[in-house]
Chains A and B, each alone.
Chain A
Amino acid sequence: MSPRAARVARRLVLAVVILAVAALAGFTYMVGGPRNLIGMLRYDQREEGRLRVGDPAPDVLLTALDGNRSPLLVGRGDKALVLVFGSFT
């Protein structure tokens, strides 16, 4: 490789590295900082899931705040049931 070709190759590598670092910094800023980026990579459990509109809703046994067990789908009568999944944090 000629000295000129070697110089061009070094500059290309440097440009790619700078672009990659800038992209990582931009993405980190976008997700709210390095702590969120690490959290997202380690703990993000979002998924589309297998259930589809038109599927029978699966029932599951849960615990009410008073400690009593209760099926998820019980007690809705002839009304629709709106389910809100979530946590405090």
Chain B
Amino acid sequence: MAERYADRAVFRTVYIKEAHPEDEWQMDSNEDEGVCYRQPRALGDRLAIARDFAERFDYRIPLLVDAMDNAAMHLYSGWPERFYIVGSDGVIAYKGKPGPFGFEPDEVEAWLDEHPAPAAAPAPATLPAEDAPPAAS
């Protein structure tokens, strides 16, 4: 999606507090896939898991890691996963529902389909009068 809509949107992932670490709400599916981490207690641990994630999935979208006070998670109510779209004016244009049940990439795509890339400034069709060649007399 990020590549398909690169003409109109910048994508950014915010890595937040783990949703299902092994010392809290462990999920069977994560055990089956060998995705088992304890809840990070320091930023270095959080960065290490985010790097594992990016490496395992060859993840190309720029990834930023939330601070240990979970400031971004709290500001955006982002747990466990959630989409937002911020318009070019810096205003929230789309707010998804919390995942997993409200995490809807289709809604993000629909918004992006309805909001095309900013138009490039059109090239002048004719030269301005002062730049026009002098008329033959």
Contacts and interface: CB of A to CB of B under 8 A. Distances in A.
B12 A84 contact: yes
A27 to B, nearest CB: 16
Contacts of B99: 86
B80 A46 contact: yes
**Chain A interface SS verdict (over half):** loop
Contacts of B36: 89
Contacts of A84: 11-14, 61, 81, 83
B132 to A, nearest CB: 32
Contacts of B72: 60, 62, 72, 85
B133 interface: no
B67 A46 contact: no
Given A42-B25, A49-B77, A63-B64, A88 B52 contact: yes
A65 interface: yes
B10 A62 contact: no
A35 to B, nearest CB: 7
B91 A56 contact: yes
A8 interface: no
Contacts of B91: 54-57
Interface string B1-40: 0100100111111111111110011111010000111000
Nearest to B15: A87
Interface in A40-89: 40, 42-58, 60-65, 67, 70, 72-73, 75-89
Contacts of A36: 25, 27
Interface in A2-58: 32-33, 35-36, 39-40, 42-58
B93 to A, nearest CB: 6
B64 A89 contact: no
A72 B9 contact: no
Interface of B: 2, 5, 8-21, 24-28, 30, 35-37, 43, 47, 49-54, 61-67, 71-73, 75-88, 90-95, 98-99, 108, 112, 115, 117-118
- Which are the 3 A-B pairs with shortest beta-carbon distances? A49-B77, A39-B25, A85-B78
